[in-house]
A and B are shown apart, each in its own frame.
Chain A
Amino acid sequence: QVQLQESGPGLVKPSETLSLTCSVSGGSISSYYWTWIRQPAGEGLEWIGHIYTTGSTNYNPSLKSRVTMSIDTSKNQFSLKLTSVTAADTAVYYCARTSAGAGLLYWFDPWGQGTLVTVSS
């Protein structure tokens, strides 16, 4: 059974770079899309973007100028970097495996447990 685990600093200073890694266990990272999603406290879910095992990416335009995703298939890990963070980037960050169905169907399952990142000086 595939499991995902996010890791990284829980506190980041304003204007600095948020860096998170998602470790995948119980299965191969190959042949899937891998997604980052965030959720500010008490709010809804925001898709940040995804990366395929080839390294191709698709980012949310609202964050595109600040986001970089990468993947290391040898370590079964993928990563998120978000630059120039502000308090508005404070959220729980989730990683998720993205499966593809027929046509344009994509869904997120499973998810990591999430990690809270607070942006504060």
Chain B
Amino acid sequence: DIQMTQSPSSLSASVGDRVTITCRASQSISSYLNWYQQKPGKAPKLLIYAASSLQSGVPSRFSGSGSGTDFTLTVSSLQPEDFASYYCQQSYSTPWTFGQGTKVEIK
């Protein structure tokens, strides 16, 4: 199985901060990487697919980059509604796997 490792596991940030979350794959996965946002008690929501493509309706302050084994999700200016958990997911090979998640909390 391909292991997906996110860092940090949690972070505290303020409204307006630039936030970056990293996802590392245990082997090269090209650009077959997606990002999801999950709020407490809710289902995950797709933010980014193919490493850098913004899902329709997702604010442009979210962006993704990377290829191979190293990927990043960036929020350019954190808004109150962005406090949530974020997960990366690879589809390079089954079983499709997720990172352990990064919880973004209010400082």
Contact = CB atoms under 8 A, between A and B. Distances in A.
Interface of A: 44-47, 58, 60-62, 94, 101-114
Nearest to B55: A109
17 contacts: A44-B87, A44-B100, A45-B87, A47-B98, A58-B94, A94-B43, A94-B44, A101-B49, A102-B50, A103-B32, A104-B92, A104-B93, A105-B91, A107-B91, A108-B44, A111-B44, A111-B45
Given A104-B91, A105-B31, A108-B89, 9 more contacts: A44-B100, A61-B95, A94-B44, A102-B50, A103-B32, A105-B91, A107-B49, A108-B46, A109-B46
Interface string B82-98: 00000101011111111
A64 to B, nearest CB: 9
Interface string B27-68: 000111010100000111110011000010000000000000
A44 B32 contact: no
B96 A106 contact: yes
B32 A45 contact: no
Q: Say what secondary structure dominates the interface of chain B.
A: loop
* Centre residue among A44, A60, A111 by max chain B CB count within 10 A: A44
A101 B50 contact: yes
Contacts of B55: 109
A44 B101 contact: yes
A120 to B, nearest CB: 21
- Most chain-B CB neighbours within 10 Å: which of A106, A110, A112? A106
Given A47-B95, A58-B94, A107 B43 contact: no
B30 A103 contact: yes
A105 B49 contact: yes
B46 A45 contact: no
Contacts of B96: 47, 106
Nearest to A63: B95
